[in-house]
Structure 1
């Protein structure tokens, strides 16, 4: 998928900390970071944490400075998505990527109506690795 191959800056909503290294919400962004993608951590929990993967933590997507992110990679249960809609719309990412097993038709429709591309129920790590294998990176 070209979206995964083209991403240079990815905000990870719901990222876990190093203490949860065995969970996808940590090892997927860790892989991206190792592959040279700028990862911007946006944890939902862990209020005491100020850095993840050596990068400054932000509590809201709209507070991330600099150029817009290419992808907001979401690690949240479908039922937890609606409260994040306003923040995502304010951040204006190119794409919102809902990880494997995550879909929410109404949430996805609201993003699409705002001109934000949505990828649902796909793993960004798997798609990025496929781009590497196929020589698209």
Structure 2
């Protein structure tokens, strides 16, 4: 997997979704009949999804940069866990904010995405721990 390309795409999607959340979502929710308190709560939920979406994109940048000099199954696992976890975590928060209250039960699944992203960060740490004491590649290589 080309993690830098994935990070760039994932980050661009995150910015676009965040822009929608800031500019289009309040109008959409207001026109959908939600009162001010419900709009505020849904905007906060959406914002949390966008925030963690971008955290995952930055994690993928780190995986992509590290993958240029490290061939590691744990690093590949880190990338997949970051991407999959943010799809679950952020994707479900977006859905909760956008869909009717009939879909609030999706909130019970959101922590699985969070735990998956945590696993991705742990895999990054495991990769770094396994490589401690190794010399970095010479400048211009890797």
Provide TM-score, normalisation by structure 2. Answer: 0.29
Q: Which of the two has higher C-alpha Rg?
A: 2
Quick check: which one's strand share is greater? 1
Provide TM-score, normalisation by structure 1. Answer: 0.29
